[in-house]
């Protein structure tokens, strides 16, 4: 996609399709809407009077060959109540229109912001356009493999040249962030046979080379040398060997402590000997979505040139049943030395995160955030609407909450109480990996807490939000890429805690 920027009235834009916005209206008022109405030969007034269009969220009014306008097609998008207009209104409106034939059949389009001159609106609009039209075509053949979206260039426009630089900066930022989120979707959608831990490591190395960060890979021998017994215990059931990915982006001053991101990279979770039911088991190719968010965030941070040192740690493994697999009741020794009684081999994510969190100490991090599809129980807490978070530092949690507010990747903080910690104690080892059904998401957090170092830590459980079940304005059905916008926002505003 080619991006252009222009200042001037919407009528002067020569692109095939021009997009404009309005909040809810009862009649055609204001200079901007009146211009559109005149161009449409009173067509807007008629649509409003008939009740066909009133600027409600999700509405699209389409005018063909508006008189005096240089474009062949004018689309007016509803943003909903003026009191509730926010960046996400633009993300949603653009997400919706991104699949609309009046846009996808055009080769060139322009987005005119009119009176809406907030940077965040520009950025969100650019994000929505890319996020809404995402489709994975790699596995289609023949005609179905062809992208029917003909759009090749988009001009972002304002009434005058005054805020053009702000527009350009915000659109570029939105483009980079949305592309990061698309990368996460693409990785998470990739079937497990095409994204084994080894292939995943190879992809990460390619990305590191392309975008300018370091990527070191520990193979099974190096993982054993690190005594990552919890990770190896998960990996041992599979014929595919595990990998441990270490990403380093040095955008900050030399010697500045890094912020570490840890992502669960289970490339397929069958449950192991505690085998999952076969219904929807195919979705477990996405059990590496947390790590996809981490890898994609590091890519995004590098592309944005953030002035911060960032480390990304990704334990990548399959969780499979076999004659060599971990059996319920087995005890493994984690890298930290704590012993873990494996009650349920399907509680594998916390095991690989335990060793990865402990490994984070090697980088003397100023804070650590882990992202993981950890517990199905998240579905019963916030549903598909947001991700539960927990941790040991209120300031860090508040930053994540603020980032969630700004990006509309929603989170909600849960507590960890001693009752939950007690759940994770074993009779014969230090810990159990499953403390029963009660408070599953918190119990998993209480387990992870045993492996953190002396640093602020937060855990984001994306088990429900990583997969959009039906399709929303800018999140088509499938892998959502949740976490990239949120983490990028948190890192972009980073200050010492
Ligand atoms: N990867 C799953 C969590 C999951 C479930 C993600 C459904 C997305 C959709 C995780 O490894 C798991 O199996 N967790 C168990 C933990 C239990 C055995 C303590 C769970 O949530 O049931
Ligand atoms: Mn599992
Ligand atoms: Zn899992």
Across 255-278, average pLDDT: 98
Clarify whether 73 is annotated catalytic.
no
Write the pLDDT tens digit of every residue in 192-213.
Answer: 999 999 999 999 999 999 999 9
Nearest CA to ligand 1 atom 17: 347
Q: Using a 6 Å cutoff on CB, does residue 318 contact ligand 1? A: no
pLDDT of residue 290: 99
**Residues 152, 197 contacting (CB under 8 angstroms):** no
Domains and CATH numbers, the chain: 2-159 (3.40.220.10), 179-492 (3.40.630.10)
Task: Tell me the pLDDT tens digit for each residue of 142-182.
Answer: 999 999 999 999 999 999 999 999 999 999 999 999 999 99
In this prediction, residue 191 carries a pLDDT of: 98
Residue 17: Cβ-neighbour burial (10 angstroms; 0-12, 13-18, 19+): buried
Evaluate: CB of 281 within 6 angstroms of ligand 1. no
pLDDT score recorded for residue 485: 99
Q: Tens digit of pLDDT for each residue in 23-45?
A: 999 999 999 999 999 999 999 99
Does the beta carbon of 345 sit less than 6 angstroms from any atom of ligand 1?
no
Q: Give me ligand 3 centre to Cα 326, in Å.
A: 15
pLDDT score recorded for residue 250: 98
Integer Cα distance of 167 and 175 in angstroms: 12
Q: Is 485 a catalytic residue?
A: no
Share of the chain above pLDDT 70, in %: 100
Shortest-distance Cα residue to atom 18 of ligand 1: 347
CA 311 to centroid of ligand 2, rounded, Å: 25
Query: Which ligand lies nearest the alpha carbon of 463?
Result: 1
Name the pTM for this structure.
0.98
| Three-class secondary structure of residue 389 per DSSP | strand
Look at residue 364 in the predicted model and tell me its pLDDT. 98
* Ligand 1, atom nearest to 436 Cα: 19
Q: Which atom of ligand 1 is nearest to the CA of 266?
A: 1
Give a three-class secondary structure readout of the chain: CEEEEEECCHHHCCCCEEEEEECCCCCCCCHHHHHHHHHCCCHHHHHHHHCCCCCCCCCEEEEECCCCCCCCEEEEEECCCHHHCCHHHHHHHHHHHCCCHHHHCCCEEEEECCCCCCHHHHHHHHHHHHHHCCCCCCCCCHHHHCCCCCCCEEEEEECCCCCHHHHHHHHHHHHHHHHHHHHHHHHHHCCCCCCCHHHHHHHHHHHHHHHCCEEEEECHHHHHHCCCHHHHHHHCCCCCCCEEEEEEEECCCCCCCCEEEEECEEEEECCCCCCCCCCCHHHHHHCCHHHHHHHHHHHHHHHHCCCCEEEEEEEEEEECCCCCCCCCCCEEECCCCCEEECCCCCCCHHHHHHHHHHHHHHHCCCEEEEEECCCHHHHHCCCCCCEEEEECCHHHHHHHHHHHHHHCCCEEECCCCHHHHHHCECCCCCEECCCCCCCHHHHHHHHHHHHCCCCCEEEEECCCCCEECCCECCECCEECCCCHHHHHHHHHCCCCC
How many Å lie between the centroid of ligand 3 and the Cα of residue 479? 15
- Convert the pLDDT of each residue in 103-144 to its tens digit: 999 999 999 999 999 999 999 999 999 999 999 999 999 999
pLDDT on residue 204: 99
Q: What pLDDT score was predicted for residue 170?
A: 98
- Quote the tokens at residue 327: 């059996």
Share above pLDDT 90 across residues of the chain, in percent, rounded to a whole number: 99
CA of 271 relative to ligand 2 center, distance in Å? 5
What's residue 102's pLDDT?
95
Give the pLDDT of residue 195. 98
Ligand 1 pocket residue status of 269, Cβ below 6 Å: yes
CB 28 within 8 A of CB 43: no
Ligand 1 site, residue 376, Cβ cutoff 6 A:
yes
440 lines ligand 1 (CB under 6 A): yes
Ligand 1 atom with the shortest distance to the CA of 274: 18
Average pLDDT over residues 337-344: 98
6 within 8 A of 110, measured Cβ to Cβ: yes
Element (H, E) at 243: strand 243-250
Point out the ligand 1 atom lying closest to the alpha carbon of residue 373: 6
Cβ of 483 less than 6 Å from ligand 1: no
> Residue 222 — pLDDT band, cuts 50, 70, 90?
very high
For residues 237-257, give the mean pLDDT. Answer: 98
- The number of CA neighbours under 13 Å toward the Cβ of 384 is 12
Q: What is the mean pLDDT of the chain?
A: 98
- Quote the ligand 2 centre to 167 CA distance (angstroms): 44
Which of 119, 199, 214, 276 is flagged as catalytic?
276
Among 186, 356, 374, smallest CA distance to 269 is for: 374
For residues 430-441, give the mean pLDDT.
96
User: Is 9 near ligand 1, meaning CB less than 6 Å away?
Assistant: no
At which residue do the structure tokens 């001159």 appear? Answer: 117
What was the pLDDT predicted at 208? 99
Q: Could you give the CA distance from residue 167 to residue 181 in angstroms, rounded to a whole number?
A: 21
Count the Cβ atoms, other than its own, within 10 Å of residue 342: 27
What average pLDDT does the segment 375-394 reach? Answer: 98
Ligand 2 center from residue 397 Cα (angstroms): 26
């Amino acid at each position: 996609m080619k991006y252009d920027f222009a200042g001037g009235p919407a009528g002067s834009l020569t692109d095939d399709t021009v997009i404009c916005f309005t909040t809810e209206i009862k009649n055609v008022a204001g200079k901007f809407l009146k211009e559109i109405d005149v161009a449409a030969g009173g067509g807007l007034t008629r649509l409003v009077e008939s009740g066909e269009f009133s600027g409600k969220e999700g509405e699209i009014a389409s005018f063909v060959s508006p008189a005096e306008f240089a474009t062949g097609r004018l689309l007016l998008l509803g943003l909903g109540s003026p009191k509730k207009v926010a960046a996400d209104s633009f993300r949603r409106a653009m997400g919706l229109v991104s699949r609309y034939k009046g846009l996808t059949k055009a080769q060139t389009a322009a987005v005119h912001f009119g009176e809406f001159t907030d940077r965040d609106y520009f950025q969100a609009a650019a994000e929505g356009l890319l996020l809404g039209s995402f489709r994975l075509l790699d596995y289609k053949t023949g005609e179905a493999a062809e992208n029917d979206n003909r759009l090749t260039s988009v001009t972002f426009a304002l009434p005058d040249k005054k805020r053009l630089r702000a527009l350009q900066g915000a659109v570029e930022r939105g483009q980079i962030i949305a592309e990061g989120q698309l990368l996460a979707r693409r990785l998470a959608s990739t079937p497990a046979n095409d994204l084994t831990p080894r292939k995943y490591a190879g992809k990460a190395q390619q990305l590191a080379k392309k975008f300018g960060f370091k990527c070191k890979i520990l193979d099974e021998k190096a993982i054993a040398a690190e005594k990552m017994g919890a990770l190896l215990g998960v990996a041992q059931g599979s014929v595919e060997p595990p990998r441990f990915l270490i990403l380093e982006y040095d955008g900050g001053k030399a010697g500045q402590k890094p912020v570490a991101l840890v992502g669960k990279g289970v490339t397929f979770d069958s449950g192991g000997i505690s085998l999952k039911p076969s219904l929807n088991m195919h979705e477990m190719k996405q059990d590496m979505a947390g790590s996809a968010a981490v890898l994609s965030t590091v890519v995004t941070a590098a592309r944005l040139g953030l002035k911060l040192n960032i480390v990304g740690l990704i334990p990548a493994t399959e969780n499979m049943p076999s004659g060599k697999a971990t059996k319920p009741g087995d005890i493994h020794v984690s890298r930290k030395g704590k012993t873990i009684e494996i009650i349920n081999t399907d509680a594998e994510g916390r095991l690989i995160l335990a060793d990865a969190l402990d490994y984070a100490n090697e980088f003397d991090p100023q804070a650590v955030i882990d992202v993981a599809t950890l517990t199905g129980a998240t579905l019963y807490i916030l549903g598909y609407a947001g991700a539960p978070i927990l941790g040991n530092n209120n300031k860090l949690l508040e930053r994540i909450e603020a980032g969630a507010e700004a990006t509309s990747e929603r989170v909600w903080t849960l507590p960890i109480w001693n009752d939950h910690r007690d759940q994770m104690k074993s009779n014969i080892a230090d810990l159990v990996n499953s403390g029963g059904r009660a408070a599953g998401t918190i119990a998993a957090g209480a387990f992870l807490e045993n492996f953190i170092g002396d640093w602020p830590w937060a855990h984001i459980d994306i088990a429900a939000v990583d997969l959009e079940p039906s399709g929303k304005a800018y999140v088509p059905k499938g892998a959502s890429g949740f976490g990239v916008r949120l983490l990028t926002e948190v890192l972009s505003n980073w200050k010492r805690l």
